[in-house]
Structures are given as structure tokens and as C-alpha cells.
Amino acid sequence: MARNNHDISRRQISENALKVLYRLHKSGFQAYLVGGGVRDILLGLEPKDFDVVTNATPEEIKRLFRNCRLVGRRFRLAHIVFGRDVIEVATLRGHHESNGNNDKVSKSNAQGRLLRDNVYGTIDEDAERRDFSVNALYYDISDYSIHSYSGGIQDLDQRIIRLIGDPETRYREDPVRMLRAVRFATKLDMQIEPRTAEPIRELAPLLKGIPAARMYEEVLKLFFSGKAAANLEMMQDFDLFEPLFPQIDALLQDSPKGSMAKMLDAVMRNTDLRVAQDKPVTPAFFYAALLWYPLKQRADDIALESGLSIYDANVAAMGDVMEQQCRTISIPRRFSTPAKDIWQLQLRLERSQSARAFKLLEHPKFRAAYDLLLLRAEAEGGTAAKVASWWTSFVEGDEQTRSDMVKKGKGNQRNRNAQQRRRRRKPANKKPAGES
């Protein structure tokens, strides 16, 4: 597509991406803006990333840019670093068949998943290796034209997500493409083409073989982009949720309309709302909320099996639940540790409706714990709703209101303690009169 047939302007491309494109071109290499950056501009969206492809090898790219670092094993990439902005540059990929059986450049496992993919080629070959047609779009910096492959422009116009090549083969090469199909469909408000959708349910279990560290990034893209509720619905429809969150899915199977289902829906709606309002969303809170009911179930099981107190059983369960989740999605410690803090505070929120409430209010994770309590109140009602109501009044009240609530809380606590002591007191074993 010639320059006068499309409306992409260099003003819509980041300055740093243009620097990379021009330097590659002036050094005698082909250079293209590719994929999502081109796609989003054509759709009238603002791209978040600008990716570049070139016929220069990673080593040649590194020699051209002092601010370059090479990353990746499965496919070697160059990251050109401009402060916080990183432009990702890939070498045009080729076909495996032309490289014989050289395991140093290409290797697959028994299921067909690519373990190594450093096979270089031409732009035509690279386009065939792209996942979806709407991503097989190349903006050529040499003449400002657009190269469209596999009907990419037409699929954009018809709002269709279509895999390039045989869907089952492409999903086996990289099962994460199933999640990407869902994400693009919701992000771009498009439909997944029937042939592209057909194998997903059968192949969904392949996601269990993806490294947990990679799945962490994919989950952030799915749920922190403002389309969490829509992505959840489509993932469940395609059986893609269970391989990522087996503990949560087990509770959903036991009680499809129970507290877990209500919490899941509330977390997704809450996350989407915060993204829409440009408020921060954190993996620590996200996982603390999602895994709250698996934690409760595990804590109940431990308490029943071992006789531990509720508090000690919860502490023991935290490690178990987080460890099991990290088998499918690796959660960095900088998020798993505060998630556990949020869990621990749930017990303190339930018991601290007295003078201790003032101290708890100063805890650095109080706000996150309080927000989780509000979601629990929405999901389960009952005691959680009463505790949440008390804390809402306390948080929103002035100093006098808080002091009055604490005094009343002390009185209620003394009454509860007295009732517990009376229940524990055993009747005296008196002997009848005249009996020695």
C-alpha cells in the first residue's frame, strides 16, 4: 500500500522508534515498524509499543547502537534503551525447513511447541511466521509504504482475528497464541474467525506447559488493560481459565454461583473501573483478592486436620496456596509478600473493632486490606458485610465518631468475653444433703 493510500503519519510514531528505523535504514539495512504499532494507528488507536524488524542480525544491531542489549533464548531480540523507553528490534524470521536439523537455531518439543527459534529470513517469510493477519503489517521507513500480508488490511476492515497458517499447528508451536487471540478480540472489539477458534478448547491444556514466569506477563496483559471482565468471560468460554488458575476453577466447579464466582466477577469489574479512572492496579491486591477463597478453604482443611488455631492455619495455608498458584503463574516476591500481608490483615480487621483500630488504620497495607474486605462483603454478605460496614463508618468518621465507636466496641467485647466465660464454666458437682 503506497504512501498516498494510507493515513499513517510519522508524527504518530514515537521519536525513539523513528531514530532506530532511520539508523538501520541509513546503515544499509531494511527497517520496518511492525505489528501492533501499525495496526493500532490504522484503527485510530494510540499504540503502547513500537516494535521494529530488520534484516540485520542481533549482533549487527548491537554494533550500531551503544544503548542496545540482547535478550531472549527462544528468539534472540535486541532492546534499544532510551531511558524508560525500550524499542524492541527483531531480526526477520525465516522457515525452519531451510535450516535442516540444526538444534542451535531451531528446536521443538514433542507437542510441537517451539523451544528455540533463531531462524532468520526475508520479510515474506517473516510475515508467514506472524501469528495473526492483523499483526502482519509492515511500515517501510524507506518509502513510507505499508506491506500487508495474509489479508491483514481486509481483516482489519472486517474486524476479524485470523491466525496465519493451520490453527492447530500454530497453537502447538506457541499455546500462548490462544490467550493472545482472546486479548486481541476484546481489545480491538473483533470476532475470532471460526477456524481460528475451533481448536482452542481441545488445546487449552497445553498452557500448563508454558513457563510460569512467561505466564505472569501474559496475565498482566489480559487483566490490567481495562478488559478484564471481557477477557475472563471469553477465557472461561474457551476453557482457558482452568490451566492458569486451577485452585479458583475447582471452587467454581463446586459452587458455580457461590462466593468465589461473585468475588471473581467483582475483582474483574473493580480492576476495569480503576483502569478506566486511571487509578493504580497492583498484582499484589489482584492475587490477594482472587485467591482469598482458596486460602480460606485450605486454612479450614489445615485447622481440621491439625487442630491448629484459625490464625495459625491461615498462616500455614498462605504458603501452600501461593506456592500452588506459582506453579502456573510465577508471582514475584515483591507482590506475593504484600498479598500475604493483605490476607493477614483480614483476620485483624474482623477482631480489631476497638482501640486497636486506630493502630491498624496506620498499617501501610490497610487500604488494600479494607478494599478486599469490601469485595468480600459484596461476595458473601453476612459477617463480612457487618465488619465492612463498621470499618466504613470508622474510616469515614471524624475523631469523635471514631472514639465513640471504639468505646462501644470495648463494651461489646467485654459482653462477648463474659458470655464466653459463662459458657465455659462447668456446673459444680454438688452432693445431695446427708451424703458423705
Catalytically annotated residues: 49, 51, 131
Q: How deeply is 220 buried, as exposed, middle or buried, from its count of CB atoms within 10 A (0-12, 13-18, 19+)?
A: middle
- Residue among 21, 326, 238, 14 nearest 144 (CA): 21
For residues 150 and 136, what is the distance between their CA atoms, to the nearest angstrom? 7
Helix H or strand E encompassing 32: strand 31-34
For residues 253 and 241, what is the distance between their CA atoms, to the nearest angstrom? 12
Instruction: Return the sign of the alpha-carbon dihedral for residues 359, 409, 259, 301.
Output: positive
Residue 425 has what DSSP assignment?
Answer: P
**Segments of 184-265 assigned E as strands:** 191-192
Q: How many CA atoms lie within 13 A of 121 on its CB side?
A: 19
3-state secondary structure of 140: strand
Crossing angle of the two packed helices 366-380 and 382-396, in degrees rounded to 10: 140
